[in-house]
Amino acid sequence: MTHDSALSEMSATSAPSSTDEGTSLRGTLAQPHFSTDREHLTEPTVKAKRIRPEISHPVVSSFRQRFPHGVNWYNVGWMLIMNVAAVAAFWHFSWVGLAIAVVMHWVTACLGVTLGYHRLLTHGSLVVSAPVKYFLSICGMLAAEGSPLFWVATHRKHHVLSDQEGDPHSPNDGFWWSHMLWFKPKEGPGELEALLKRWAPDMYKDPVQRFFHKFFPVVPMIFGAMLYFGGEYFFGLGLSCLLWGLCLRMVIGYHSTWFVNSATHIWGYRNYETTDRSRNLWWVALLSYGEGWHNNHHAHQRLARHGHKPWEIDITYMVIRVLKVLGLATQVQDRLPQTDQAA
Ligand SMILES: [Zn+2]
Ligand SMILES: [Zn+2]
């Protein structure tokens, strides 16, 4: 599909005349048109916008405005349990647990979220076969950041409405909102479904992705059970494998992703004058396998490479290059537009 053109059209049709995010979710805005042909994939990425951002979106302080339908206690409870378990992991250290955590962090956060959810599914920065696409989707689900459908829909919305009304997670609404509070409100009736259909209609048509979306909540639980019983059976270290391989690993992954939403819209330098607050922040890039070069990404959303300068290390792009050499990835969008390179 043509993600950039789709996003451009979404920009054009969803200029934030609405002052209520829920308004767009209820579908009053024009529906974006998604083409299924891939001929535009070879076109250069969108040019960086040269307009200074207008940041006037105020912090909404009222609880009722932030949580119009109440609190999503499932999300709050899950995060509380995972954070407590992540701290408890330090009392149950084992080298096996640490090794599982390191490997699974790379599999879930790099292969799953940054490569699969973000660069492949959200932006179409590369093309892979269906089995590889679904494998990467499953890797992403093991990071427990939401189903591929939810993640992609939310992130596309962020790109179109960045730091404007309707952005799901802008630091204009406060650091903690953009970091980890934005997904705590409970959705209104039909709101989630509308979000998915509005912002990820291409994926919504895919029955496998809809199945993943329904099945998603039990994925980390099944994996946790496998870690516990497998760790107990092979090493006698079930609890350590569970706490390190699931809980602590996931909490570290959460904050790495959340820093992309919060920190890289606040601190760092800009290679491009985009219309949002996006920045390049080296320590977020290290934590998140290259996602911290966020200003580069906002300027050239389709590009598979997020590091545009020699020192901007982008581990996910290195993995994509390996996939390309192995013949597992094609049509990799990796050419910086000559006229618009980071100076
Ligand atoms: Zn952003
Ligand atoms: Zn993106």
Does residue 343 lie in a domain region?
no
Q: What is the pLDDT of residue 339?
A: 53
Distance, CA 268 to ligand 1 centroid (Å)? 13
- Residue 296 forms part of a structural domain: yes
User: Does residue 6 lie within any of the structural domains?
Assistant: no
Confidence (pLDDT) at 187: 85
Does 324 map to a domain?
A: yes
Instruction: Inform me whether the pLDDT recorded for 17 exceeds 50.
Output: no
Query: In this structure, which ligand is nearest to the CA of 276?
Result: 1
What pLDDT sits at residue 174? 87
Give the per-residue pLDDT at 61: 58
pLDDT of residue 150: 95
pLDDT value of residue 58: 52
Please classify residue 326 by burial: count the beta carbons closer than 10 Å to its beta carbon, then call 0-12 exposed, 13-18 middle and 19+ buried: exposed
Q: Write down the pTM of the prediction.
A: 0.82
Q: Find the mean pLDDT for residues 68-89.
A: 93
* Under 8 Å between Cβ of 125 and 331: no
Ligand nearest to the CA of 158: 1
| Alpha carbon separation from 150 to 209, 247, 256 (Å, rounded) | 10, 21, 18
Which of the four pLDDT bands, split at 50, 70 and 90, describes residue 159?
very high
Please, is 141 exposed, middle or buried when counting C-beta atoms within 10 Å of its C-beta (0-12, 13-18, 19+)?
buried
Q: What would the two tokens of residue 289 be?
A: 């396998």
155 is in which domain, residue-wise? Answer: 64-184+195-333
Mean pLDDT of 139-166: 94
The answer to whether position 58 is within a domain reads no
| pLDDT score of 182 | 86
What is the number of structural domains in the chain? Answer: 1
Q: From ligand 1's centre to the CA of 222, what distance in Å?
A: 32
Q: How many A from CA of 265 to the centre of ligand 1?
A: 6
Distance (Å) from CA 45 to ligand 1 centroid: 17
Query: For residue 33, is it within any domain?
Result: no
Q: In this structure, is residue 43 part of a structural domain?
A: no
Tell me the per-residue pLDDT of 45-64, one tens digit each, with 9 for 90 and over: 334 443 344 444 555 556 77
What is the distance between the alpha carbons of residues 316 and 306, in angstroms, rounded to a whole number?
A: 9
Please name which ligand lies nearest the alpha carbon of 261.
Answer: 1
Q: What is the mean pLDDT of the chain?
A: 83
The answer to whether position 37 is within a domain reads no
